[in-house]
Amino acid sequence: MTHPVMRWQIISPDPAATASFYRQLFDWRVNSDNALGYRELSTGDGGIDGGVWPGPPGERPFTQLFVAVPDVDEHVRRATTLGARVLVPTSVLPDGDAMAVLMDPIGLPFAVYRVAEGKGP
C-alpha cells in the first residue's frame, strides 16, 4: 500500500490573514464553515487541498503534511519506535476522520491520517 500525502495545513498565529494571503496570491478558495472554524483551502483541479489552523501563543508558524495510513494507531506506534514523538494523540475529528500529529526525529511535525470509512480514499 502506498501512503500518499492527502492534505497539508499551515499553523499560523493569524489564520485569517494567512488564508487571505494564499487566496489572493493563488486564487485558492477559502471555506471557514465547519465546526472548528478551520480555514479550508481548495487549491484547484489536481492539487492537494489543505488548511490553516491557529497556532498556540508563541509557537512558530509551520506546515504539516497529512499522510494517509490505514491504521493511525499502528503508524503512531511505528513512528515512536523510529524516534518520533507524539504531539497530538490519535483523535477522531467531527467528520469521522482520524489523525495523530507527531514530530519526527529532526523536529518536523507531521500527521498520520485516516479518512472516515465511506468518505473516499
Predicted pLDDT at 22: 95
* CATH code for the part of the protein at 5-114: 3.10.180.10
- CA pair distance 97, 94, nearest whole angstrom: 7
In the structure grid, which three cell numbers stand for residue 66, read together? 497529512
Ranges of the chain with pLDDT below 50? none
96-112 tens-digit pLDDT: 999 999 999 999 999 99
Domain residue ranges in the chain: 5-114
- CA pair distance 105, 82, nearest whole angstrom: 8
